[in-house]
Structure formats: structure tokens, C-alpha cells
Amino acid sequence: MSTFQAPKGTYDLLPPRSATFLAVREAISAPLRNSGYGYVETPGFENVELFSRGVGESTDIVSKEMYTLTTKGGDQLALRPEGTASVLRAALQGNLHKAGLLPVKLWYSGSYYRYERAQKGRYRHFSQVGAEAIGSEDPALDAELIILADQAYRTLGLRNFRVLLNSLGDKECRPVYREALQGFLRGLDLDAETVRRAEINPLRVLDDKREDVQKQLVGAPMLRDYLCDACKAYHEEVRALVTAAGVAFEDDEKLVRGLDYYTRTTFEFVHDGLGSQSAVGGGGRYDGLSEMIGGPSLPSVGWALGVDRTVLALEAEGVTLDIPAATSVFGVALGEEARRVLFGKVTELRRAGVAADFAFGGKGLKGAMKDANRSGARFAAVLGERDLAEGVVQLKDMQSGEQGPVALTDLVDVLRSRLA
Ligand code: AMP
């Protein structure tokens, strides 16, 4: 293994592709920031119980994929595999949930860790932008989040994605369904692992990707037929609000998702250009999570969109984002005194808010102009010894190729107005 090889299932974000990641995070969070969501940041690790109690002991995420560690002091910690449990924990700890302040609407962006079988689109370290609306049972919140995710993807220029929508019922109707499904599953010919799953988390079996399992599932009882009246009415209202916003969705009765805390509304955004790792984002309502982690009743809803897969989806659709060049002016100086003077001008430009860079490393004119080109700067400011003696700098418009002298003392003002 080479010393320079990042760990399996991870990769580095390097320029220029890294700029796309920043732009995607920005584009996903912009609609949230514009809709009353405040920024929250939580630690990269939490006490293990938060996830085992919250996400669920029987889920793959907790039972197989969590990076756990014991500190020298004996604390059991886990690198966060997802964001919702941490954000809810932070809201409770920070007392954001006091009556009158609900719903608490928060957004976040960060790194998440799962020990998964690595492949394209599935990494051990990945990046999500997420949103949570905590402490309110209102179908308009579920609808708002679905609509904002759709808006984010559309603003980015994505088209080939679909919204899948389902209701998982609540603590009244789901247990009845669970039992009916378990009764059905017990009559099937399943492997030991799946039999075990059917006992702990039967709904997850519906989600099994294997064809032989799916064949046996034909005729299984469907949750839709077991939803209580309250859940049905709630779901219809979510569907109506999303429809009224002009966001198309597909009802997917088998959409279960891999986390235990979901109730009622669940949804997933899938992209058709990504092969097996097609989910670009997902979320839903988690009315019981607060109580599961020891808090008061706080019905909530949220989503997390994967940044890595969103970038892959853009690439699959051939969408290139319009990312402005990072540098507007590139300084090229020839000779020691010119270097000193022009370096000072570059500093002045930066302080005046103009994005400026400089030919470092004592290169000759040819090499330095190559750097100027590569930087994408609109202007190159070239200062030779003779220019210096005359008190001017040669300003070259890199788009038109036009070039002319500008008084050194006027450089900052001239550039500011020409770039405006
Ligand atoms: P989840 O928390 O599993 O619902 O995931 C939400 C979103 O995060 C998914 O739709 C993916 O876009 C992204 N995601 C989850 N796990 C991974 C992973 N291992 N690698 C890359 N992206 C992931």
C-alpha cells in the first residue's frame, strides 16, 4: 500500500472538482436558509447509545456499519453515521424545544461515516447536507421539506430524479401491520439471516433487493391497507400540498428506509443515472425519536441529501455548474524591486475585495503568464523594471488580449471599476 493512498472507501476532494462540491453544498442549503432554517453543527462523534437507541440496534447502520471506539477514559463513542439523532440531541441539550418556539428548524452540513462495502457512490466517509423540523406535527412541514429538496436539485440543473413517497404509519397502526407481515414472512422459505431480520425488523425485508426474496413477497400484506384514519388523512394532506406545489412524486409502498425511527411520511430522491446507488437523498417523519433517546414527545421531520451522490448525478447528466473563476487579477512581476511593489499591490487589491493571485517562485515571463492563464483570471497585471521606472503597470485583458499601461497608483481603482 502506498503511503499516499487514502483509506479504503474514502477519497479526497481536490481542485477543480472540489469547487463543485462546495457549490452543491451551497445550492442544497440555500433554499433552507431562505425558509427559516438555522445552521447547526454538532461533533463528529457521539456516545454510542445515541445511535443504538435512536437509529436502532437492528439496523445495518448500527449493527454493522458504525465506527466505534473506546477512549482512554473508557467512554464508548461512535463516529456519526447520520445526522438526525445528533441534531435532535443538540436541540434537546440546548433547550431549543421550549413551548412557543416550535417547530425548531435546523440545517447542517458535514461528514458521516459508515463501514460499508465501498463502491462507486458508496463510501465509508461521505458528505451530507440535512434539514430537520423539530417538534411539530404538521403535514405542511413534511411537504415543505420535500419541496425544498426538489428546488435544490432543480436549481443545480438536475432533471432525471424522482421522488418516492410512502407512509409508514404510527404507533397505533404500524404494530398491527408488523404482526400481520411477520405472520406472512414466517410462512416463507428464507435464509437464517433474513428470518432473524423478519423477527426484529420485518418491514426491512420488504426492501430486500434479491429477486428470489422479492418473488416470495408477492401477496404480502401492504401497510397501505393497515394505516389508521389519522395516518391516512395526514398522508393525503402531505400528498395534496406537494402536488399543489407542482412537485411530481411516485407512491412507493415498499419504501421503508434503513433507519428505525421513521413514522408516517417517508420519502427518497432517486436518480436514474447512478446504477445501484441511486438514492441521492431521503428522509421522513420521526415522531418517536425524541422519546427513544430519552426526551419529551417531539414529532419531527427531516431529510439528508448526499453531496457525493449529487455530484455524481450532475456528472451523469452532463451538467457543469457555472462556477466563477476564483481569481480575477493575476500579478506577474519581473525583477526584485518590481516583485516587491507588485506583491504590495496584490495585497491592496485583496484588501479592496478583488480576488487576486501572484506569480510565485521567481518564474520568468513565459512561465508566469502560463500561471496567469491557468488561474482563470480576467486580467494579468505585468510589472517589468522599465514599467516600474515609469510608474505604470501593463494591464492585459486575458479575454480580448488587449493590453495597455495603467498608472501604478490607479491600479486598484481601475481594476475595481473594470471588474464591476
Ligand atoms: P441515509 O441516511 O441512509 O438515508 O442517506 C441519505 C443520503 O446520504 C443517501 O441518499 C445518500 O445520498 C447519502 N449516503 C448515505 N450513505 C452513503 C454512503 N455510504 N456513501 C455515499 N453517500 C451516502
CA pair distance 81, 111, nearest whole angstrom: 9
Please check whether residues 267 and 361 belong to one and the same domain: no
Please check whether residues 76 and 128 belong to one and the same domain: yes
For residue range 171-228, list pLDDT tens digits in order: 899 999 999 999 999 999 999 989 988 988 898 898 888 999 999 999 999 999 999 9
What mean pLDDT do residues 111-125 have?
97
Please check whether residues 291 and 344 belong to one and the same domain: no
Banded model confidence at residue 65, pLDDT cuts 50, 70, 90:
very high
Question: Which amino acid makes up residue 49?
Answer: E
Please check whether residues 303 and 342 belong to one and the same domain: no
Please check whether residues 286 and 344 belong to one and the same domain: no
Mutate to test the pocket of ligand 1, among 59, 112, 269 (most ligand atoms within 8 A of CB): 112
By the 10 Å C-beta count (0-12 exposed, 13-18 middle, 19+ buried), 321 is classed as middle
Determine the distance separating the centroid of ligand 1 and the alpha carbon of 127, expressed in angstroms: 8
For residue range 313-331, list pLDDT tens digits in order: 999 999 999 998 889 999 9
Establish whether residue 128 lines the binding site of ligand 1, counting it when its CB lies within 6 angstroms of any ligand atom.
yes
Please check whether residues 286 and 350 belong to one and the same domain: no
CA pair distance 84, 94, nearest whole angstrom: 15
Looking at residue 71, its pLDDT comes to 97
Q: With a cut of 70, say whether residue 366 has pLDDT above it.
A: yes
Looking at residue 254, its pLDDT comes to 85
Please check whether residues 372 and 404 belong to one and the same domain: yes
Please check whether residues 147 and 54 belong to one and the same domain: yes
CA pair distance 228, 337, nearest whole angstrom: 81
CA pair distance 200, 57, nearest whole angstrom: 9
Please check whether residues 24 and 92 belong to one and the same domain: yes
- Grid-cell match 463510501, residue found: 123
Please check whether residues 237 and 294 belong to one and the same domain: yes
**Whole-prediction pTM:** 0.93
Establish whether residue 258 lines the binding site of ligand 1, counting it when its CB lies within 6 angstroms of any ligand atom.
yes
Please check whether residues 374 and 239 belong to one and the same domain: no
Indicate which residue's Cα is closest to atom 8 of ligand 1: 306
The CATH number assigned to the domain holding 310 equals 3.30.930.10
For residue range 69-97, list pLDDT tens digits in order: 999 999 999 999 999 999 999 999 999 99
Indicate which residue's Cα is closest to atom 11 of ligand 1: 306
Per cent of the chain over pLDDT 90 is: 87
Summary mean pLDDT of the chain: 95
SS3 content of the chain, % helix, strand, coil (to 5): 40, 20, 40
Q: With a cut of 90, say whether residue 63 has pLDDT above it.
A: no
Establish whether residue 317 lines the binding site of ligand 1, counting it when its CB lies within 6 angstroms of any ligand atom.
no
